[in-house]
Amino acid sequence: MANVRPSCSRPPLCLGYPGRMMRNPLRQVGLTLLVGAFLMGASQCLAEGDSPAPTHVPSPDSPLTATAVPIPTATPTPTPTASPSPSPDPKPVVQASPAEAEESALEHQVAYRDYRAALIAQDFETALIYARKGHAFALRDLGLRNAQTGVLAYNLGAVSYRLERYRDGLPPLLEAEKTYAENYGLDSTKNLLPIRKLASTYEALGNWPEAERYSVRAIEIIEATQGRTAKEITEILMDLTQITQHLGEAKRMRSYANRALYNMHQGEDSNALAIGHAYISLTTAEIMLGDALAANKSLDRAIEIYESQMPPEDPRLLRLYAFAADTFDQTGRPGSARKYRRRINASEN
């Protein structure tokens, strides 16, 4: 491994969670890299439309109408093990009139209609009000584990997430996860909706272990039906490189980045920006592991891809040059560091 010269120009940086200060110069560079990688390539790393964390800006939701999950017209029969236990002290049932029963049965559907209209109008505060109403009506009239109740619980969690009320959205999303699993089976692809939103919510809350767990669970479900190289898996793998960086799990981060690169090379143009971003994530992991030679090689490839896709004055490319100069200073390539600083200066002049 190339000798690494320590830098006295900047203090040790925190790896993204309290109590762990990185004093290895290689690891120190890796932290700068991650920020640069996100700024330059996050738009190429798409998940379900949103995967925010406290350290970066969340991308907008996918088309708003996608958040409004249609209410199923027929309710699947839950598995026997999902049937609630009988109450030890049952309350007398009050029979409603036919008119009252019909009105009550429609309340959650009316609330859902109004929720969807508010979403389309991008009035998320109003959408939240109707999502709460629809969920409450469904709990009252259909029961906790009814499929329609699960859909409305997901919608409540999704619009709370859209409003960045992550803690408020967590309970209905966890409820939706259980309801979907009981109605459709643990391995159904329908479960991906609440599972992926839970991964994003835990990431936004900085609960990295849970964010990783739900992301891995989503991959397992997708693999069973679409295979290991499905595009959606690649997107989740790129999310996982961010999550494991925050956890300080460099080996897992490297594994996720390598697997994402393998998948991308099966279907992407070899010079696609998404591949360049994956190489930046791989460089981060290799720096955290102290492997300067491997990090230099991955970074060279990332620069090559970005240069093939961007004009010399593109701000994303200039940010990559700035990162490369700092990195090569500390990984034994001072000549390369000077070259990229000259390019930055030339663009400013």
Query: Cα-Cα-Cα-Cα dihedral of 84, 90, 94, 95, to 10°?
Result: 50
Quick one: 210 and 103 in the same domain? yes
pLDDT at position 97: 58
Q: Which of 232, 262, 277 corresponds to the end of one domain?
A: 232
Quick one: 225 and 252 in the same domain? no
What is the SS3 string spanning the chain? CCCCCCCCCCCCEECCCCCCEECCHHHHHHHHHHHHHHHHHHHHCCCCCCCCECCECCCCCCCHHHCCCCCCCCCCCCCHHHCCCCCCCCCCCCCCCHHHHHHHHHHHHHHHHHHHHHHHCCCHHHHHHHHHHHHHHHHHHCCCCCHHHHHHHHHHHHHHHHCCCHHHHHHHHHHHHHHHHHHHCCCCHHHHHHHHHHHHHHHHCCCHHHHHHHHHHHHHHHHHHHCCCCHHHHHHHHHHHHHHHHHCCHHHHHHHHHHHHHHHHHHCCCCCHHHHHHHHHHHHHHHHCCCHHHHHHHHHHHHHHHHHHCCCCCHHHHHHHHHHHHHHHHCCCHHHHHHHHHHHHHHHC
- CA-to-CA dists, residue 328 to 6, 267, 275, angstroms: 12, 31, 21
Cα–Cα–Cα angle for 341, 347, 349, rounded to 5 degrees: 105
Backbone angles phi, psi at 90, to 5 degrees: -60, 140
Rounded Cα gap, residues 290 and 206, in angstroms: 26
pLDDT at position 71: 65
Q: Which two tokens stand for residue 325?
A: 């100069």
Quick one: 190 and 154 in the same domain? yes
Cβ neighbours for 115, distance < 8 A, ≥ 6 positions apart: 68, 127, 130, 131, 134, 155, 159
Does residue 166 lie in a domain region?
A: yes
pLDDT < 50: residue spans in the chain: 1-66, 74-96
pLDDT at position 63: 30
Does residue 255 lie in a domain region?
A: yes
Q: Which of 186, 201, 232 corresponds to the end of one domain?
A: 232
Quick one: 271 and 204 in the same domain? no
Does residue 77 lie in a domain region?
A: no
Rounded Cα gap, residues 293 and 232, in angstroms: 31
Cβ neighbours for 162, distance < 8 A, ≥ 6 positions apart: 50, 61, 67, 124
Quick one: 257 and 344 in the same domain? yes
Does residue 29 lie in a domain region?
A: yes
pLDDT at position 103: 60
Quick one: 217 and 111 in the same domain? yes
Does residue 238 lie in a domain region?
A: no
Backbone angles phi, psi at 86, to 5 degrees: -65, 145
- Look-up: residue for tokens 């994003």? 200
Quick one: 190 and 66 in the same domain? yes
Quick one: 68 and 169 in the same domain? yes
Quick one: 201 and 266 in the same domain? no
Quick one: 140 and 227 in the same domain? yes
Does residue 201 lie in a domain region?
A: yes
Rounded Cα gap, residues 238 and 278, in angstroms: 7
Cβ neighbours for 301, distance < 8 A, ≥ 6 positions apart: 276, 279
Quick one: 16 and 64 in the same domain? no
Quick one: 68 and 184 in the same domain? yes
Q: Let me know: does 252 contact 289? Beta carbons within 8 Å.
A: no
Does residue 92 lie in a domain region?
A: no
Number of compact structural domains in the chain: 2
Does residue 241 lie in a domain region?
A: no
Domain hosting 118: range is: 60-72+99-232
CATH number of the domain to which 24 belongs: 1.25.40.10
Q: Which two tokens stand for residue 206?
A: 């900085």
Q: Which of 232, 267, 282 corresponds to the end of one domain?
A: 232
Specify which residues 13 forms β-bridges with.
22
Alpha carbon 142 to its chain's center: 32
Rounded Cα gap, residues 82 and 85, in angstroms: 9
Q: Which two tokens stand for residue 344?
A: 């930055």
pLDDT at position 271: 72
Q: Let me know: does 112 contact 71? Beta carbons within 8 Å.
A: yes
